[in-house]
Amino acid sequence: MNRLFSPPTLDDLIRLFKAWRYWSLGAVIGGLIGAAVYYAAPPPYRAHAVVLVDFNLEQAWPEETDRQQFYYLERETRKLEEIALSDTVMESIVERTGNITTAELRGMISLSQPAEGGWNFYVKDDDPQRASTLATLWAQNFVGQVNIQKAAAEGPNAFIEANLTQIAQVPIERSLSISLYLFVGAVAFLALASLVVLFVSKPK
């Protein structure tokens, strides 16, 4: 136990360097295992749609301070995020697809870069066609709901504009690359091999 928590000595480092063949082999084995996991249980596909959000600060706050504009952006961004993840938007998508539940849909989606500019709507699914359809529907319903709430004078500021600029294409790649699996597997087995050299094998 004392050896486990004691700082490494020069002899420990020398043993590690001498065993370079051993932990190099461990890295290769780890990479092969990572590749096997990737092909045995591949990650889902990820589709991507984009909505351009313009807060039109010059019109909304023409004579206000930077601090007031900051709070305006923060407040309106939260409102838009709530719309994007609202039950109304989710249920509308579910009704149009008919082969997924709201709970399942919420576990497949992610929203990236919510600020002024491009909002990225991601959907992960084992079926690339369905991932593409869901991502496009999500972005379209978000834009539609923003416009509905603006027309009803509730929700986001009337000067905010949201426009679908990129519908989701059918993804041809997985959400995680095989190189990540190779890297994680190699690093994990490098660490394991190093621990074996330091704490299991006995120095001669």
Residue 178's pLDDT band (cuts 50, 70, 90): confident
Look over the chain and give the mean of its residue pLDDT values, rounded to a whole number.
82
Q: Which residue has the higher pLDDT, 75 or 85?
A: 85
Residues 144 and 190 both lie in one domain: no
Domain CATH for 55: 3.30.70.1130
Residue 173 domain-assigned (yes or no): no
Least confident of 58-67, 81-90, 124-133, 144-153: 58-67
Residues 104 and 153 both lie in one domain: yes
pLDDT digits (tens, 9 = 90+) for 37-78: 888 888 999 999 999 998 877 776 656 566 677 777 888 889
The answer on pLDDT for 1 being more than 50 is: no
Residues 51 and 26 both lie in one domain: no
Structure confidence at residue 2 (pLDDT): 45
Residues 78 and 104 both lie in one domain: yes
The answer on pLDDT for 141 being more than 60 is: yes
Residue 13 domain-assigned (yes or no): yes
Residue 171 domain-assigned (yes or no): no
Residues 51 and 119 both lie in one domain: yes
Residues 57 and 119 both lie in one domain: yes
Q: Which residue has the higher pLDDT, 3 or 53?
A: 53
Residues 57 and 155 both lie in one domain: yes
Residue 185 domain-assigned (yes or no): yes
Q: Which residue has the higher pLDDT, 90 or 3?
A: 90
The answer on pLDDT for 20 being more than 80 is: no
Residue 188 domain-assigned (yes or no): yes
What is the number of domains present in the chain?
A: 2
Structure confidence at residue 106 (pLDDT): 95
Residues 99 and 124 both lie in one domain: yes
Least confident of 2-11, 144-153, 155-164, 179-188: 2-11
Residues 94 and 193 both lie in one domain: no
Residue 160 domain-assigned (yes or no): yes
Across 138-147, average pLDDT: 95
Structure confidence at residue 14 (pLDDT): 65
Highest mean pLDDT among 18-27, 49-58, 75-84: 75-84
Residue 172 domain-assigned (yes or no): no
Residues 136 and 194 both lie in one domain: no
Domain range for 65 is: 45-166
DSSP secondary structure letters along the chain = -HHHHSPPPHHHHHHHHHTHHHHHHHHHHHHHHHHHHHHHSPPPEEEEEEEEEE--HHHHSTT--HHHHHHHHHHHHHHHHHHHTSHHHHHHHHHHH-SS-HHHHHTTEEEE--SSEEEEEEEEESSHHHHHHHHHHHHHHHHHHHHHHHHTT-SS-TT-EEEEEEPPPPP-SBSS-HHHHHHHHHHHHHHHHHHIIIIISPP-
Residue 150 domain-assigned (yes or no): yes
The answer on pLDDT for 5 being more than 70 is: no
Residues 20 and 83 both lie in one domain: no
pLDDT digits (tens, 9 = 90+) for 96-125: 988 889 999 999 999 987 666 789 999 999
Across 193-200, average pLDDT: 64
